[in-house]
Amino acid sequence: MRELAGIGALLAGLWLAAAEAGFRSPESLVRNVYAHYGEGAPELSKGLPRDAVTARQFFDPPLRKAWSTPRVEPYDFLVQSPSWKLGPVAIEVVRKQYDKTYVAANFDNHGRRVVLNFVLVNGPEGWLITDVESPHDSLRMFLEQFRN
């Protein structure tokens, strides 16, 4: 009986670890990114944190280190500006292609229209960001350009 309880605890721990990373749907992932750019609780109004825990929750393994490495950037890529006052964020799955799902996020930031395409993958950890594309750049290229 103790062995079964131990196995159950182990499986519960693995499930919780998997639940800490990733999200259950592509839309919920993008919605949770922009929850960090609101005007509410201070911890949810400073942009998406650059720590390892947040990187593990939101990004696939190749992008995690790049996201959480300290650097000086001219603006926050996810809002395309050094500051933000976002209007409503419209989120829509625009394409599913092989193992990737493309989700468009449309919003106004200080009255300027912003359109970003999130490239997401679904794996054992749930939905994670593998890249974000703007009309001129991608998050991967942006982070590479400003690495220390």
Q: What is the pTM of this model?
A: 0.82
Question: For residue range 77-134, what is the model confidence (pLDDT) as tens digits?
Answer: 999 999 999 999 999 999 998 889 999 999 999 999 999 999 999 988 899 999 999 9
Question: For residue range 58-82, what is the model confidence (pLDDT) as tens digits?
Answer: 999 999 999 998 878 899 999 999 9
- What is the Cα–Cα distance from 113 to 81, expressed in whole angstroms? 11
Which pLDDT band, with edges at 50, 70 and 90, does 42 fall under?
low
- What is the Cα–Cα distance from 140 to 61, expressed in whole angstroms? 12
